[in-house]
Amino acid sequence: MADTVTKTITADILERDAQHHTGLWQPDVVFVRGEGVNLWDAEGKHYLDCMAGIAVASVGHANERLANAISEQARKLIVCPQNLGNDVRADLTDKLFQFVPKPLNRVFFASSGSEINEAALKWARAATGRSKFVAAKRGFSGRTMGSLSLTWEKKYREPFEPMRYETTFIRYNDVDELAEAITDETAAVFLEPVQGEGGIHPATQEFLEAARALTHERGALLIFDEVQSGAGRTGTFLASENYGIVPDMTTMAKGLGGGVPIGALLMTDEVAAAMPKGGHGTTFGGNPLAAAAALAVLEEFETRDLLNHVKDVGHHLRKGILELNHPLIRDVRGVGLMIGVELKKKVAPYVAALRDAGVLTINAGATVIRLVPPLIISKAEADEVVKRLKHALETA
Ligand code: PLP
């Protein structure tokens, strides 16, 4: 009896959860509310959220326009698969292609990053008649059996081998290795323009230009995985726009629905036409609820000039961290609000100290602290993050 009285709300929630969850994770904190860049845990402690559900909460928590769009749509129509027409999905598609560069002109919707990458794999096979892929070391493209074939980390792959697709992994930004790997059996080269999970590494201009030229030359497709870097994260709608290079397909998910699950596969007319009728599909993809959410996110981009804001505040945040001139920091890199702070030590204790100091972040590999806050973060909030980062670096 005494135990139940003294038990914290957090302990109670986590204990109930642990009765039935799979044990994949052992969380020690419970979040119950958010607003903008702010989060509160079950004990009432406040955090600045620089994780955003891993680059998902693009327009901030409890965003008014997004919340209204979802609740209004829920009262109108939630279910309408892509084999039937829907007004909100048509509105979303119109708006989406105001942001997407030509010749990408067609879209297939799904509900997650891995699922949209699975669709890209199938389209690549349909369009080329080939089934081998080239991807990059440190790359991450998901954990379903097809997308896992493109994910580099051994710990994710090895327990589930053999992989579905034969993939050659090359060193990211190494043009020579890329040139050697693409053969006349390659269906597609699959690359993140800015590697996320692998440590926030932007591609070089030369590397992406070579990828475009070599794939053209050898009859393979170029696919950009922008599940993390897309939807405004880098200050352009797609990170590939920073390079002026247009692939045959781009996948996006995370930030597009502001937290409501949606993934989009963008492709050229030619690639779209290669899939046999009925050759792919999904029950939930592009349902009106998700479409209303993504439409609200894109409207926020327009009305708040968010892409320019991301460039501006991203630069401000990176500059603030660089100006700390901290001896523990090896490198600060990234584009827009996709920022990696590489330390000279393993980051786990520093990520924990930051959380104690009220800033939620996540690592990207062993030595990189990843900052992917909501795109609406203000300069004053960014300054506060820098201040608390300095404190965490000094106290961990
Ligand atoms: N591709 C990239 C670049 C990612 O960062 C991720 C997830 O972190 C995925 C694919 C997989 O997305 P999901 O977790 O929604 O399946």
What was the pLDDT predicted at 6?
75
Q: Is 140 in the pocket of ligand 1 (CB under 6 A)?
A: yes
Beta strands in the chain (DSSP E): 31-35, 38-41, 46-49, 106-110, 132-136, 167-170, 186-191, 194-195, 201-202, 221-225, 249-252, 263-267, 329-335, 338-343, 359-360, 362-363, 368-371
User: Distances in Å between the alpha carbon of 51 and those of 12, 32, 179, 344, 361?
Assistant: 25, 15, 36, 21, 5
The segments of the chain whose pLDDT lies below 70 read 1-5
Nearest to 60 by CA among 50, 68, 69, 70: 50
112 lines ligand 1 (CB under 6 A): yes
Amino acid at 172: Y
First-to-final CA distance of the chain: 37
What is the predicted pLDDT for the residue at 382? 98
Question: What phi, psi does 157 have (nearest 5°)?
Answer: -90, -50
- Residue 253 Cα, ligand 1 centroid: separation in angstroms? 8
pLDDT in tens, 275-313: 999 999 999 999 999 999 999 999 999 999 999 999 999
Q: What pLDDT does residue 342 have? A: 98
Q: How far is the CA of 140 from the centre of ligand 1 (A)?
A: 7
- Residue of 145, 254, 260, 370 to mutate, ligand 1, most atoms within 8 A of C-beta: 254
Positive or negative: CA dihedral 59, 63, 65, 66: positive
Round the CA-based radius of gyration of the chain to a whole number and report it: 21
Query: How confident is the model at residue 179, as a pLDDT?
Result: 98
CA 391 / ligand 1 centre spacing (Å): 31
Question: Does ligand 1 lie within 6 Å of residue 225's CB atom?
Answer: yes
Cα separation, 228 vs 213, whole angstroms: 24
Q: Is the CB of residue 58 below 6 angstroms from any atom belonging to ligand 1?
A: no
- Whether pTM exceeds 0.85: yes
Cα separation, 362 vs 370, in Å, equals 5
- Helices 288-303, 87-99: crossing angle, 10 deg rounding: 40
Q: Tens of pLDDT along 67-98?
A: 999 999 999 999 999 999 999 999 999 999 99
User: Which value, to the nearest 10 degrees, does the dihedral of the CA atoms of residues 306, 311, 316, 319 take?
Assistant: 160
Which stretch of DSSP H or E encloses residue 231?
none
Of all protein residues, whose CA lies closest to atom 12 belonging to ligand 1?
A: 113
pLDDT score recorded for residue 5: 61
Regarding the beta carbon of 227 and ligand 1, being less than 6 Å apart is answered yes
Amino acid (1-letter code) at residue 111:
S
How many CA atoms, within 13 angstroms, populate the side-chain half-sphere of residue 25?
A: 6
Q: Could you tell me the distance, in angstroms and rounded to a whole number, from the CA of residue 160 to the centre of ligand 1?
A: 18
Residue 142 Cα, ligand 1 centroid: separation in angstroms? 5
Tokens of 185: 């059996």
Evaluate: CB of 248 within 6 angstroms of ligand 1.
Answer: no
Distance (Å, whole) CA 273 – CA 92: 21
Give Dmax over CA atoms of the chain in angstroms. Answer: 73
